[in-house]
Amino acid sequence: MRKKIVAGNWKMNTTRPDGIELAEAVAARAAEVPEGVGLIIAPPFTHLCCCGKRLKGTKVELSAQNCADHAKGAYTGEVSVDMLKAVGCQWTILGHSERRQYYGETDEKLVEKVKLALGAGLGVILCVGENLDEREAGKHFDVVKAQTEAVLYNFSAEEMKHIVIAYEPVWAIGTGKTATAAQAEEIHACIRNVIEAKFGAKVADDMTILYGGSCKPSNAKELFAEKDIDGGLIGGAALKADDFLGIALSF
Ligand code: 13P
């Protein structure tokens, strides 16, 4: 069965006290969200642990925003999958466009990270998406197809059960310029076909594919009504509990 999910990527926002307040506010109202809709928050590393504690006994799950591409050792500044697991993470986001763009995240590195995350028992939210130049050049389908294949074709059908894909067109992130429901849907359908081509119809049908990029309470309903859009990966609007929950209540 395909899961519906609304996940909040807090990026490099909130201090520890702000983060705790936000996690508590989300947790307090999580029960209002329909049973079939999963909620995930991804605070910065420094407050994963204390935010995670506020989620105990609620339906809200905890995610990191990234993980190291090595299991342990002399990698100054990095955070391993075992460390994430030990502070209560169930998920990690990987391959966000900001990491690809500013921190040199390559598909090869992402394969290593996904392997480590799955090996540690973490679910993965893998981000893909074209930038503005690629969209304007009409290459968006090819770019997203190539990103999806380059990482996910290294995994098994069994492993795919622990992976969620987030389509985030770079030109829509933090710009207020949302992809139209039709623009998002055609890419989501393309991603599902890419999954089907390698793993078969059942895996493709069960795959949760989220949309991210200026998603907010006012446009979530239209996006989520599309048949291949199974929820959202939310940036700015995840920093206000009411907006985040408003999106989750749009199903
Ligand atoms: P915005 O919702 O702020 O556009 O960010 C989307 C995003 O990058 C989530 O990962």
pLDDT, tens only, 177-229: 889 999 999 999 999 999 999 999 999 999 999 999 999 999 999 999 999 99
pLDDT for residue 114 is more than 90: yes
Q: Within a 13 Å sphere around the CA of 55, how many CA atoms are in the beta-carbon half?
A: 24
Reported pTM: 0.98
Query: And the tokens for 218?
Result: 């006012």
Are the beta carbons of 56 and 77 closer than 8 angstroms? no
Is 96 catalytic? The answer is yes
Q: Name the DSSP class of 95.
A: -
What per-residue confidence (pLDDT) applies to 189? 98
pLDDT, tens only, 58-68: 999 999 999 99
Query: And the tokens for 62?
Result: 């905890």
What per-residue confidence (pLDDT) applies to 163? 98
What per-residue confidence (pLDDT) applies to 169? 97
Cα–Cα nearest to 46, from 83, 2, 5: 83
- When pLDDT is averaged across residues 221-250 and rounded to a whole number, the result is 98
Is 32 catalytic? The answer is no
Ligand 1 atom closest to Cα of 11?
10
Q: If DSSP codes are grouped into helix, strand and coil, which group holds residue 128?
A: strand
Are the beta carbons of 224 and 36 closer than 8 angstroms? no
What per-residue confidence (pLDDT) applies to 50? 98
Average pLDDT, the chain: 97
Q: How many CB atoms lie within 10 A of CB 35?
A: 7
Question: Domains along the chain?
Answer: 4-248 (3.20.20.70)
Ligand 1 pocket test, pick from 233, 239, 240, 244 with the greatest ligand atom count within 8 Å of Cβ, gives 233
